[in-house]
Amino acid sequence: MRNSSLAGLTALALTGGSLLSLATPAQAADTTVRYVRQTSTACSDTGAGTLAEPFCSIAPAVAHVSAGQTVDIGAGTYAERVTIAESGTADQPITIVMSGAATLSGPTAGVVVDGQHDIALQNLRVAKTVEVPALDLRNASGMTVNAGSLLMGDAAAVPVVRLTGVTRSTLTKIVAKGTGLSSAVSMDADTTGVVVRSGVLISPTDAGLADQSVGIRIEGPDNTVLNSTVSGFTGAAIAVGPGAADTVVANNQVQGGAGVGIHNRGAARTAITNNNVRGRCLDGIRVDGASSGVSVQNNVLTSNGLFGQSYCDRSAEPGAEIGLYGAAAGSTVVDYNNTYHFASPSESAYSWNGTHLGLAAFRTASGQAAHDRDTPYSTEAEDSANSAAPGFQATDGAGNARADNPRRPDTGAGPIPWADRGATEFLGSPLAWLQTKLDLGTRTVTADASGSTAGYVPITSYVFDFGDGTVVTQDKPVASHVYQTTGSYTVSVTVSGSDNRGNTTSQRVSMLRRTGTIGLLSLVNLRYAATSSVGQVVAADKTIPGADAQFDLADAGNGKVAVLSRAAGRYLVNSGAILPNSQAVTDEETFDLIRNADGTVSLRWSGRGYVGVNASAQLVATATAIGTREKFYRVNVADADRSFKAGANGRYVTAESGGTKPLIANRTSVGPWERFDLVDLGNGQFGLFARANNRFVCADGTGTKPLIANRTSVGAWEKFALLPNADGTVSFKATVNSRYVTADSGGAKPLIANRTAIGPWERFTLGS
């Protein structure tokens, strides 16, 4: 058997077979990911690059990578300039990804690719580079750069991204910033087939900081800039050079800066389409030199060339929204743009060979701009673009498909006459609105989305997510939900129409444990604090603790309370005054509930000011100490609006003659004079607050005289203990003399606190 096996191996070698095929299983077991973990205690630059034994630096990992493999760079600051010397293939690119908070940092930090192809760079982060570009691509193709933050040092005078001889490549979601930049992205004359998409490129606006810097400089043919934001730069935000034929500049947001917005410097067949250009010191869009066949369509331009900003050089020639110069003027198509040159009509919105013209005069001079509009209104861009314009994109700058507003006429041209001008399509999406109301007693939240506004079609669906796993989908805008436990939850609603466009909004709510429901009777004016709706200041202006004057006390933890207005369904918060505005409880919605020696209570907001009643009866939290205005009597709502039926004669106790006469049990029915609020004074003590005249009942003459409702505050004579009896009745003991209140002479005489024991005349039935 051994001989036949050896013979087989010999035969394989003699016939040109490869013994390497026998090593394939071991090779296939090698990882396709090379890990870099600077912070790992097991890292080594001579190791295997596995997650268990990662590289400490990026360069060794890149040196070992090949087609189809990935270098995964973890958190850390790497003072490296990384050169990628290997290529991938279209099907198996080399991928370099910064998966953690990793940054290449230092004067020469960055990434270089020279002569390679099919390489993907993801989440690239470079900072403080000064001497060299953060990303330097030379003679490369098939490059995919997806998401990156490239921040140049203050003294840098080189491009952030330099492309030299690059083809067939895409740069997406690149953020490039720096002071004194020559350009953010520079493409030389040999760079072609490159797409810059969804970039954010920023440099200072001040003309004195850099000489003729350019956001995106394009010198080669057949390149594209889409959906990007370019701000600042003193020469131009986007400059298209003479050799850059067939360039597309579409769906971009070009913002304030000292130079031109979009400058076509002699290039042929450039499509400048659906851009927003605003606040440039010189022309918003300028076409000059030997430019030919240029299309300027569907753009929205506002307030360019006005020198209204401090960063503009006022010694320069004022610009226009759109300027055509020299030979370029005769071959440039200008149409379907919106221009607004600060004042309307904009008599200098256009420049024709240096002569500033209004729209009508420009039409006459150029034969162009038949469908341009001079308007400050963004809605005038809606459903009015030319979708057949060169460079027109089926989606807008945010990737949204074109949408038709059925309520506007379609005045555009081309296959999509409802497309919009500018970089952003009006989507007609609904706008979600949400208001929540809490009921701590039942742990119920009511979510009201009825204030949502429809888009192009009516809202047909409301999807409520209550944050505890409960999702309710319905065609009505109001939904309620009961939480099984207390806690904080995020409530959201998504509204949508039949066109499936939707919008979502959410609110955080706190469903806390209720510890009581009370009214707050102000000592200073003997009125109850009340509010009825969100945004209405709490004011002490009610004579009874009705629905608008009832507040839930909730356990906010650490001995503090939150106070919920039952009418508004919101927690109280100090916003200059006390308002029922909060759905969720933070420190700003908490109070210390303080019991004062006289039986009143006070509220201290968030450990700061005490809540008091100002001269307008509004509740404010400004006092640094407790005075009369900062004191309230606590009335438990269950003890409010009570009546007392005397056991002596079965008649109701009344504050006779509107409280001007002593209390007596002589009424057969209950009216306003027969109603009282029991004020909780703590330690089992109560005050009797007569509804007849809003005065406290007093055991007058230290109890030697009949009870009468004639006091504006509670002292010793106005305190009573409420004692339950076995038969369900109650008795009152005056604190001032420790005697029981009796309906004297079987109720024929006024009530008086002069009995030492409880008999039938000292028993009363509480009524609601």
pLDDT of 26 reads 35
Poorest-confidence range of 210-224, 373-387, 591-605, 625-639? Answer: 210-224
Cα(738)–Cα(727) distance, integer angstroms:
22
State how far the alpha carbon of 722 is from the alpha carbons of 645, 716, 733, in Å: 15, 15, 7
Domain count, the chain: 5
Q: Kindly state whether residue 570 falls inside one of the protein's structural domains.
A: yes
The DSSP 8-state label assigned to residue 380 in this structure reads G
- Residue 493: how many other CB atoms lie within 10 Å: 25
- pLDDT band for 344, please (50, 70, 90 cuts): low
Beta strand 643-646 with 601-605 is unpaired
Q: Note whether 560 and 590 are within 8 A (CB).
A: yes
Q: Are residues 629 and 690 in the same domain?
A: no
Q: Kindly state whether residue 364 falls inside one of the protein's structural domains.
A: yes
Q: Are residues 625 and 698 in the same domain?
A: no
Closest CA to 641 of 545, 729, 575, 505: 545
Q: Give the mean pLDDT of 411-428.
A: 96
Q: Give the mean pLDDT of 357-383.
A: 94
Q: Are residues 366 and 411 in the same domain?
A: yes
Closest CA to 280 of 327, 232, 323: 232
Q: What is the pLDDT of residues 553-583, one digit of tens each?
A: 999 999 999 999 999 999 999 999 999 999 9
Q: Are residues 592 and 691 in the same domain?
A: no
Q: What is the pLDDT of residues 467-498, one digit of tens each?
A: 999 999 999 999 999 999 999 999 999 999 99
Q: Kindly state whether residue 381 falls inside one of the protein's structural domains.
A: yes
Q: Kindly state whether residue 566 falls inside one of the protein's structural domains.
A: yes
Of the residues 508, 532, 562, which one is the last residue of a structural domain? Answer: 508
Cα(467)–Cα(96) distance, integer angstroms:
38
State how far the alpha carbon of 75 is from the alpha carbons of 36, 135, 243, in Å: 9, 20, 42
pLDDT of 186 reads 96
Q: Note whether 337 and 298 are within 8 A (CB).
A: yes
pLDDT of 317 reads 75
Q: Are residues 359 and 239 in the same domain?
A: yes
Boundaries of domain holding 591: 514-636
Q: Give the mean pLDDT of 522-527.
A: 97
Q: Kindly state whether residue 393 falls inside one of the protein's structural domains.
A: yes
737 phi, psi to nearest 5 deg: -135, 5
- pLDDT band for 652, please (50, 70, 90 cuts): very high
Q: Kindly state whether residue 207 falls inside one of the protein's structural domains.
A: yes
Q: Are residues 87 and 226 in the same domain?
A: no
Higher-scoring residue by pLDDT: 177, 546 = 546
Cα(593)–Cα(589) distance, integer angstroms:
13
Tokens representing 653? 């106790």
- pLDDT band for 395, please (50, 70, 90 cuts): very high
Cα(637)–Cα(529) distance, integer angstroms:
13
Q: Note whether 215 and 253 are within 8 A (CB).
A: no
Cα(131)–Cα(141) distance, integer angstroms:
25
Q: Are residues 285 and 215 in the same domain?
A: yes
User: Is the pLDDT assigned to residue 2 strictly greater than 70?
Assistant: no
Poorest-confidence range of 142-146, 180-184, 218-222? Answer: 180-184
Q: Is 576 exposed, middle or buried (0-12, 13-18, 19+ CB in 10 A)?
A: exposed
State how far the alpha carbon of 12 is from the alpha carbons of 9, 18, 21, 366, in Å: 5, 7, 11, 81
- pLDDT band for 156, please (50, 70, 90 cuts): confident
Q: Give the mean pLDDT of 149-170.
A: 91
Q: Note whether 112 and 136 are within 8 A (CB).
A: yes
Q: Kindly state whether residue 576 falls inside one of the protein's structural domains.
A: yes
3-state secondary structure of 723: strand
- pLDDT band for 134, please (50, 70, 90 cuts): very high
pLDDT of 10 reads 30
pLDDT of 759 reads 96
Of the residues 465, 486, 508, which one is the last residue of a structural domain? Answer: 508
State how far the alpha carbon of 589 is from the alpha carbons of 465, 547, 563, in Å: 24, 21, 8
Q: Are residues 260 and 197 in the same domain?
A: yes
Q: Kindly state whether residue 623 falls inside one of the protein's structural domains.
A: yes
Q: Give the mean pLDDT of 128-144.
A: 95
Q: What is the pLDDT of residues 263-305, one digit of tens each?
A: 999 999 999 999 999 999 999 999 999 999 999 999 999 999 8
Q: Are residues 126 and 253 in the same domain?
A: no
Poorest-confidence range of 196-205, 694-703, 708-717? Answer: 196-205
Cα(624)–Cα(613) distance, integer angstroms:
14
Q: Are residues 215 and 123 in the same domain?
A: no
- Mean per-residue pLDDT of the chain: 92
Of the residues 373, 393, 427, which one is the last residue of a structural domain? Answer: 427
Cα(487)–Cα(510) distance, integer angstroms:
6
**In this structure, what CATH number is given to the domain that contains residue 657?**
2.80.10.50
pLDDT of 714 reads 97
- pLDDT band for 7, please (50, 70, 90 cuts): very low
Q: Are residues 533 and 614 in the same domain?
A: yes
Poorest-confidence range of 155-164, 270-279, 395-404, 622-631? Answer: 155-164
- pLDDT band for 347, please (50, 70, 90 cuts): confident
Q: Are residues 656 and 619 in the same domain?
A: no
